[in-house]
Amino acid sequence: MQIYIDGAFHDRQNAKISVFDHGLLYGDGVFEGIRVYEGCVFRLREHLERLYESARAIALEIPIPPEAMIDVVVETARRNGRRNAYIRLVVTRGEGDLGLDPHNCKRATVICIVDDVKLYPEELYRQGLKVITASTRQVGPGTFDARIKSLNYLKSVLAKIEARRAGALEAVMLNEEGFVAECTADNIFIVKRGALLTPPLWDGALAGITRGTILELAARMGIPAREERLARFDLFNADECFLTGTGAEIIPVVDIDDRRIGEGVPGPVTMRVLEAFREMITRDGVRVPF
């Protein structure tokens, strides 16, 4: 494994950053999770656009311009020789001191890791996933904008702990008003009367790259799709439900809080969307020159 850190490549044992890095001390930084499918980095430009927008929102200056960052990601993938992989691109505030003030951090740290990822067992993509609703709430936009993909995922970690303790692998997170926001690391969709519905960004949903891809695919396929405020009532009474994310891809949900969703098996609209997504993933990205 070759890991990129600030212009150099290191093996896993020697890939190190300072204990004074504010990404470690305060969760001060941004990141992207990106997939490689058959040598194609899926929607790399869209991921980088979100990375730089997240950084701008927290006044973090990334020391590499976007076009050069494409080269960093592609070269890291090439050096690791993986035609199918998961990329974690991280930008921290950089090394500072034990004080909170980010002005003491002179330069951001850029890290790129290429490895495997498997969020859910393969059989669950055929059988469907059981999820719960977490008591941990998503912070509302009046406090923190969920469009910033920051390093601080403590809310999601706590919700994931709840899910595991309840015998589930994922948890739905509500916002402060009780509306559905997202899951711990995935966006959520339901199917109702043939239409795809997903929570709006203003209810605390991340502007997921896979989420956006599904909305585009639905338009091409003639499936009605829109953002709509959802409550737990809507989830329980959905005809189908599925989650989307870079790591998860598209995974059906068949049980929420011990309520069977639809027929209790992955539904036809979900499977159509999943098939269309898998057909496009190697055509929509940046090629790695292995």
241 close to 168: Cβ distance less than 8 angstroms: no
Residue 174 and residue 186: Cα distance in Å, rounded?
Answer: 13
Length of the chain: 290
13 close to 2: Cβ distance less than 8 angstroms: no
261 close to 240: Cβ distance less than 8 angstroms: yes
Q: 81: how many CB neighbours lie within 10 A of its CB?
A: 11
Check the CA dihedral 182-174-163-275 and report its sign: negative
Phi-psi region of 13 (alpha: psi -120 to 50; beta: other; left: phi over 0): alpha
Q: Which of 79, 91, 81 is nearest to 47 (CA)?
A: 91
Q: Looking only at Cα atoms, what is the longest distance across the chain? A: 57
Task: Provide the token pair at 34.
Answer: 């990106």
Annotated catalytic residue: which of 149, 155, 160, 192?
Answer: 149
Task: Provide the token pair at 155.
Answer: 């809310």
Catalytic residue status for 149: yes
Kindly calculate the radius of gyration of the chain based on its CA atoms and give it in whole angstroms.
19
81 close to 290: Cβ distance less than 8 angstroms: yes
Cβ neighbors of 56 (< 8 A, separation 6 or more) are: none
The partner residues of 150 in beta bridges, in order of sequence, read 30
Task: Provide the token pair at 243.
Answer: 């989650």
Task: Report, as residue numbers or ranges, the catalytic residues.
Answer: 149
